Amino acid sequence: MFDNITLGQYYPAQSVVHALDPRMKICLLVLSIVAIFLAGNLLAFVPVMAFLALACKMSRVPVKLLIRGLKPLRFILVFTFLLNLFFLQGETPLLNLGFAVIKKEALILSVHYALRLVLLVLFSSLLTLTTAPVTLTDGLERLLSPLRVIHFPAHEMAMMMTIALRFIPTLLEEADKIMKAQTARGADFESGNLIKRAKAMVPLLVPLFVSAFRRAGDLAMAMEARCYHGGEGRTRLRVLKMAKNDYLALGAMGLLIACVVLLSRVY
Amino acid sequence: MPDLIFDVQNVSFAYEEGGPLAVRSLSLQVPKGAFYAVLGQNGSGKSTLAKLMNGLYLPTEGSVSVCGMDTKDEKHTWDIRCRAGMVFQNPDNQLVATIVREDVAFGLENIGVPTEEMPGRIEQALRDVGMTEYAERAPHLLSGGQKQRVAIAGVLAMRPEAILFDESTAMLDPQGRREVLSAVKRLNRELGLTVIWITHFMEEAVDCDKVFVMHSGEIALSGTPREVFAREEALRALRLDVPPMAHLAQTLREAGMPVQDVLTVEDMVREAKRLCR
Ligand SMILES: Nc1ncnc2c1ncn2[C@@H]1O[C@H](COP(=O)(O)OP(=O)(O)OP(=O)(O)O)[C@@H](O)[C@H]1O
Ligand SMILES: [Mg+2]
């Protein structure tokens, strides 16, 4: 049952995009979001899409995999698109469906909003597809570490994420084991309505939680035995270093934002 | 006095103030390079003793010193835990990172070893436990014995004087158990690593230097394996079994066969040959 849960969606490959510094990739994601929101008209989306296509090509991630990131959002996408289409204000009637009139302005705006959402998801998918979770955690920790001055627990957060990543497969395995044990004793997880199935989950979740807490206790003890005492004075095995490509990518992103602003103004 | 790694003096420990003592006025000296085994039934205080020996717990009474440093002295806490590492029972609950190499690095990162120095120490530690080719694997894909060896590597990388093993083979299959024990024995022999081996398996204790049997927080029996396992009655009273071969020897002796000094299958073969002559 749990076999098909893959962690994140990292697609391992050797590419320039994979090799970028995770800090830079996170910054680039933020900047691409800025670019998406700066786009004032449909034309301004063209360079954004071109940038995404180029980045995808250079990352060697199959386009199909990238598109798959949209799948969980398909209902929301269609729903908001239709809602916008029917209810946004406009002047020029385009199509009379009898029960409603579709306006030209509404159509353009609906497409605009839908594109915005699609691009947001695609850019973030590209980040998670090309960056291993551990590396991403590392990048986040380092990016957020200046916030320590306002007591933001950057190191603790990163450590928490690492531990979560480490233990998710272990807990899934355990859940599978408990489930099989309960099934052997006649528990039924598969049939019945939603409420019945949710109830059936209780005998699975209780032992799972109990064991997770025990693991947490053990782990804390083991970490302490290995001299863990927070982020203070800690060195790292992997140091992140910005390279030429990182600055090139940043430059390209700058150009993209300039293009978007220009197109939004001119048109 | 020879170099003492651990010096436990009259230590008592209670989990709650005024509560029952988990360890009571216990003394134990461990010289450098020793391989000591600690046996005892469930709840006899073995884990508590181990945690007292690297400063995870501080004694309620008495004192513990590691390489001459008192565990109560806060400025030595991290130094003590570097000198006396610990490997726990559950292989799943002591690995922190998602890649073997990085897990081995965890302790080094904690004590602030410079980044340039880390790869060398990690390679060395993985080589010492024979896990070099697994350096880039994810821990959850390893067998139990392999996970325990990674945990040992994580401790070894910190260059400890001693490692405390708290039932580190209890959750492994026989294959994994042999794997881990033979790795530890080799470290003890070749690197002179001091080992405290806590276990439920009598046969794991037969060729160590000394055996300590704990019972309700005290050391009830101690001595060389031969001395301790010869006392079958006393061991039974403490609800422990003797190793199978020692038991067989006892039965044979009762049946009138003068077999002596038997702990392992090899000993039994030797005695059998001697008696057949
Ligand atoms: N965290 C704790 N809080 C309170 N009491 C504890 C705690 N851990 C252990 N004890 C008690 O201390 C005593 C010694 O426990 P300890 O875990 O040291 O035994 P052990 O010899 O390691 O047993 P086992 O073979 O089961 O591992 C037991 O009576 C136990 O109930
Ligand atoms: Mg124990």
pLDDT of residue A8: 59
| Measured distance CA(B220)–CA(B255) in Å, rounded | 29
- Confirm whether A3 is domain-assigned: no
- pLDDT for the residue A160: 92
Number of A/B CB contacts below 8 angstroms equals 93
Burial class (CB in 10 A: 0-12, 13-18, 19+), B208: buried
Q: Say if A6 is an interface residue toward chain B (CB within 8 Å).
A: no
Full residue range of the structural domain in which residue A159 is found: 16-266
If residue B150 lies in a helix (H) or strand (E), which one and from where to where? helix B144-156
Q: Ligand 1, atom 4: nearest CA belongs to which residue? A: B15
Side chain identity, residue A126:
L
Give the nearest ligand 1 atom to B46 CA. Answer: 21
DSSP conformational letter for A180: H
Cα–chain center distance at A104: 33
* Sign of the Cα pseudo-torsion (A227, A231, A235, A239, in order): positive
- Tokens 């995770």 belong to A22
Rounded to whole angstroms, how far apart are CA atoms B41 and B247?
A: 18
Q: What pairing do the DSSP bridges indicate for beta strands B21-31 and B4-14? A: antiparallel
Dihedral sign of CA atoms A147, A152, A154, A158 in order: negative
- Residue A4 inside a domain? The answer is no
Burial tier of B171 (Cβ tally within 10 Å: 0-12, 13-18, 19+): middle
Q: Write down the H helix ranges in chain A.
A: 16-19, 22-38, 45-59, 63-68, 74-87, 104-130, 133-144, 154-184, 194-200, 202-225, 244-266
Domains and CATH numbers, chain B: 4-225 (3.40.50.300)
Task: Return per-residue pLDDT of chain A as tens, 267 residues.
Answer: 343 334 457 888 899 999 999 999 999 999 999 999 999 899 999 999 999 999 999 999 999 989 988 888 889 999 999 999 888 888 888 888 777 788 888 899 999 999 999 999 999 999 999 998 888 999 999 999 899 899 899 999 999 999 998 898 899 889 999 888 888 888 777 777 888 888 888 888 899 999 999 999 999 999 999 999 988 889 999 888 899 999 999 999 999 999 999 999 886
Closest CA to A39 of A254, A263, A249, A250: A263
In sequence order, what are the residues at sequence separation of 6 or more whose Cβ sits closer than 8 angstroms to the Cβ of residue B122?
A: A237, B101, B104, B105, B108, B135, B153, B157
Specify the pLDDT at position B29: 95
Q: Tokens 């492994």 sit at which residue? A: B172
CB B90 within 8 A of CB B80: no
Number of domains chain A is built from: 1
Question: What are the tokens at B206?
Answer: 């037969």
Residue A8, in any domain of the structure? no
CB contact under 8 A, A170 and B94: no
Find where tokens 């729903």 sit.
A79
Other CB atoms within 10 Å distance of the CB of residue A29: 18
Q: Which residues of B touch A169 (CB under 8 A)?
A: 138, 140
pLDDT digits (tens, 9 = 90+) for B64-120: 999 999 999 999 999 999 999 999 999 999 999 989 999 999 999 999 999 999 999
Which residue is closest to A226 within chain B, CA to CA? Answer: B107
Tell me the CA–centroid distance for residue B95 and ligand 1, in Å: 23
A2 in any annotated domain: no
Is ipTM beyond 0.85? Answer: yes
The string over A172-188, giving b where at least 16 C-beta atoms fall within 10 Å of a residue's C-beta and e elsewhere, is bebbeebbeebeeeebe
Alpha-carbon span B196 to B155, nearest angstrom? 14
In a domain, A56, yes or no: yes
Q: What is the Cα–Cα distance from A17 to A31, expressed in whole angstroms? A: 16
Q: Is A163 on the interface with B (CB under 8 A)?
A: yes
| N-term to C-term CA, chain A | 53
Residue A7 falls inside a structural domain? no
Residue with tokens 């024979």: B130
The model's pTM: 0.85
Q: Point out the residues of chain B with pLDDT beneath 70.
A: 1-2
| B55, closest residue in chain A (CA to CA) | A225
User: Which among B12, B13, B15, B199 is the best mutation to test ligand 1's pocket, defined by most ligand atoms within 8 Å of the CB?
Assistant: B15
Instruction: Evaluate whether residue A5 is within a structural domain.
Output: no
Name the 3-class secondary structure at B271: helix
A108-156: pLDDT as tens digits: 999 999 999 999 999 999 999 999 888 899 999 999 989 989 989 999 9
In a domain, A30, yes or no: yes
- Is the CB of B109 less than 8 angstroms away from the CB of A234? yes
pLDDT at position B73, please? 93
Q: Which of A237, A240, A241 to mutate to test the interface with B (most CBs of B within 10 A)?
A: A237
Contact between residue B263 and residue B229 where contact means Cβ atoms under 8 Å apart:
yes
